[in-house]
Amino acid sequence: MLEYVSPGQIGIDPHKLQHAYDLASAWTKRTADKPAVMPAVALMVGKGGKAIEPKFFGHQGPDPDAPPIRRDSLFLIASLTKPVTYLAAMILVERGLLGLSDPVTQYIPDFAAHHKEATQVQHLFTHTSGLPDMLDNNLALRREHAPLAKFIEGAIRDTVPKFRAGTDLSYQSMGTLVVAELVQRISGLSIAEFVGREILDPLGLK
């Protein structure tokens, strides 16, 4: 159990924290003629093993009769690895080993399949690559518990862009897989090893 403290005790600006609370309140507010931006938000900020007591906003679901959110509410959380993967790649950018405006094929020649030569690294970061969100055989690969390498191989060689890179926006998990492969090829480590060594271990995260 984390020890609850005041914002100042862990170096958090209470005015900025209140701004976050105000946003969460506004996003979860609903009226008779306008639904909430999101049903609920649970927000807790911590540092160094101590935390500010969590605050809860909104309701248990989008239905008009949904009760207020509870302290023990469960949230569906997805795509948690995406920001960590992009952070890993940005470490390489910071070190001058990866260029955001470089073509992906500079690092992964096979990515040129299906006319993806003009796709830049930054397009993978910003969901503007045109890549699909999932592979056509995504469900089959999941059912057979295929290794990450199979998904990455499909993202590189089998994906057909839905539009020319940089001309539109479309959420794409495949771009994150290709970024993971960029990290692996440049660092010589698996994405798990790189994230552990460069992000998790230095931060003391388990």
For 28-50, write each residue's pLDDT tens digit.
998 878 889 999 999 999 988 89
Tell me what pLDDT residue 44 has.
94
Give the global pTM: 0.75
CA pair distance 206, 201, nearest whole angstrom: 8
Tell me what pLDDT residue 64 has.
84
| Mean pLDDT on 1-23 | 94
Q: Which residues pair with 120 in a beta bridge?
A: 103
Of all residues in the chain, the percent with pLDDT exceeding 70 is 100
pLDDT band at 78 (very low <50, low <70, confident <90, very high): confident
Tell me what pLDDT residue 90 has.
98
CA pair distance 115, 49, nearest whole angstrom: 49
The residue with tokens 């440049």 is: 186
Tell me what pLDDT residue 206 has.
80
Whether 169 has a pLDDT exceeding 90, the answer reads yes
Tell me what pLDDT residue 125 has.
96
CA pair distance 178, 185, nearest whole angstrom: 10
Q: What is the DSSP string of 37-86?
A: SSSEEEE--EETTEEPPPEEEEBSSSSTTPPBPPTT-------THHHHHH
- Cα–Cα distances in Å, from 74 out to 42, 61, 82, 150, 174? 10, 11, 21, 32, 28
Helix axes 173-187, 148-157, angle to 10 degrees: 110
pLDDT band at 52 (very low <50, low <70, confident <90, very high): very high
Of all residues in the chain, the percent with pLDDT exceeding 90 is 86
Whether 204 has a pLDDT exceeding 90, the answer reads no
Tell me what pLDDT residue 170 has.
95
Residue 84: both structure tokens together: 């960590």
Tell me what pLDDT residue 123 has.
98
Whether 176 has a pLDDT exceeding 90, the answer reads yes
> pLDDT averaged over the chain?
95
